[in-house]
Amino acid sequence: MIGDPIAHSLSPRIHNAGFAAAGLDWAYVAFRVPAGRGAEAVAAMRTLGIAGMSVTMPHKEAVAAACDRLTPIAAALGAVNCIALEGDEVVGDNTDGGGCCWALDQAGANLDGAPVVVLGAGGAARSVVAALGARGAEVTVVARRPDAARRAAALSPSGRVGTPAAVRGAAVVINATPVGMAQHPGMPCDPQRLHSGQLVMDLIYHPERTPWLDAAATRGALTLNGVGMLLGQALAQFERWTGVGAPVDAMAAALDQHLGWLPG
Ligand code: NAP
């Protein structure tokens, strides 16, 4: 895995638990690679014959440009979070949005035709909008920069740009902004718009419960934090690299102190 910062990443814990449970003599290691050197890390991976690599901030776009081939979702996003060495070819993929849908599936959401509001239009929002669109959800993007919101909405066949008022009519509301993290205090939308019958998801997993998620639960909504997405995107990466089914229970157990991702 490459990124910066990276020291507190949970991914080594998740993947190494998966390798052990699957009986694979593999190891997953985090490397702090500063901005601007992602392409060099891809070259090193090719030289060393490393089977795969997770890619996180600030390298997702630069590494996409350094790949030999991109999956359709990675090409649409222009960003990769996962690369695999397939023969001599470095293939870039993006499993973030699929991981979010996996977590929503676990919570019992029926995404096909569901009205979903995504708050934010950055990298995570874009991958989530694209994946939700592929699952048939009716996605509305609500973000403070209209141009970014338009570009994100365009990633979904039925995507549109909306205002915070759209939150009230959504079956699923997803916070894809950093608002609620320690460095970004506040709420991504007025919790008065949230109500029972909705599934409210925060992509943030540190802290495990944001004030917004707590407010949503108080108002009767089913709530979900970002740990399920973290796990879901890791499962897809594991399967792409190893070609075997991911041992979900073992990988989830590696996150047992973060089990707030379960619906609550
Ligand atoms: P990003 O690319 O920087 O995008 C952040 C988005 O939030 C942008 O649309 C930004 O708007 C908006 N935003 C930031 N501050 C805001 C504020 N005060 N009010 C309204 N909007 C604001 O970040 P990202 O990579 O998409 O990450 C977003 C969140 O998702 C982070 O909390 C990250 O930890 C989380 N995440 C979770 C997972 C997971 O597996 N659970 C995976 C990836 C990301 P501007 O463009 O106008 O600044």
Instruction: Give pLDDT tens digits for 200-210.
Output: 999 999 899 99
Q: How many CA atoms lie within 13 A of 173 on its CB side?
A: 29
Nearest protein CA to atom 46 of ligand 1, as residue: 122
Nearest atom in ligand 1 to 122's CA? 4
pLDDT band at 215 (very low <50, low <70, confident <90, very high): very high
Whole-number percent of the chain with pLDDT over 90:
93
pLDDT at 263: 47
Q: Is the CB of 122 under 6 A from ligand 1?
A: yes
Q: Is 233 in the pocket of ligand 1 (CB under 6 A)?
A: yes
pLDDT tens for each residue of 11-36: 999 999 999 999 999 999 999 999 99
- Distance from the CA of 19 to the center of ligand 1, in angstroms? 31
Report d(CA 51, CA 122) in Å as an integer: 29
What is the distance between the alpha carbons of residues 136 and 107, in angstroms, rounded to a whole number? 17
3-state secondary structure of 32: strand
**DSSP states of 202-242 as a string?**
ES--SSSS-HHHHHHHHTT-EEE-THHHHHHHHHHHHHHHH
Check if 166 has its Cβ closer than 6 Å to any atom of ligand 1: no
Q: Using one digit for the tens of pLDDT, what is the confidence trace for 131-143?
A: 999 999 999 999 9
**Residue 140 CA, ligand 1 centroid: distance in Å:** 16
Any idea which residues carry the catalytic annotation? Answer: 60
- Identify whether 191 is preceded by a cis peptide bond (ω within 30 of 0): no
Indicate which residue's Cα is closest to atom 27 of ligand 1.
124
Q: CB 8: neighbour CB atoms within 10 A?
A: 7
Q: Rounded distance, CA 61 to CA 51, Å?
A: 20
Q: Is 96 in the pocket of ligand 1 (CB under 6 A)?
A: yes
Nearest CA to ligand 1 atom 4: 122
Which of the four pLDDT bands, split at 50, 70 and 90, describes residue 187?
Answer: very high
Strand partners, 181: 179
Mutate to test the pocket of ligand 1, among 203, 225, 233 (most ligand atoms within 8 A of CB): 203
State yes or no: pLDDT of 221 exceeds 60: yes
Q: Could you give the 3-state DSSP secondary structure of residue 148? A: helix
Residue 257 carries which side chain, given as an amino acid letter? Q
The pLDDT score that the predictor gives to residue 257 is: 65
If you take atom 20 of ligand 1, which residue's CA is the nearest one?
144
Top-level CATH class of 2-95+230-261?
alpha beta
Pick the closest to residue 234 from 99, 107, 42 (CA basis). Answer: 99
The answer on pLDDT for 196 being more than 90 is yes
- pLDDT surpasses 50 at 237: yes
User: What are the residue ranges spanned by the domains of the chain?
Assistant: 2-95+230-261, 97-227
User: Residue 259: is its pLDDT beyond 80?
Assistant: no
Is 230 near ligand 1, meaning CB less than 6 Å away?
yes
Angle at 82 between CA 180 and CA 28, to 5 degrees: 90
Assess contact for 205 and 183: CB atoms under 8 A.
no
Domains 2-95+230-261 and 97-227 share a fold: yes
Residue 176 Cα to ligand 1 middle (Å): 5
Q: 174 CA distance to ligand 1 centroid (A)?
A: 11
User: Which atom of ligand 1 approaches the CA of 145 most closely?
Assistant: 47
Residues in contact with 88: Cβ distance below 8 Å, sequence separation at least 6, in sequence order: 46
- List the residue whose alpha carbon is closest to atom 38 of ligand 1: 203
Superfamily of domain covering 97-227: NAD(P)-binding Rossmann-like Domain (3.40.50.720)
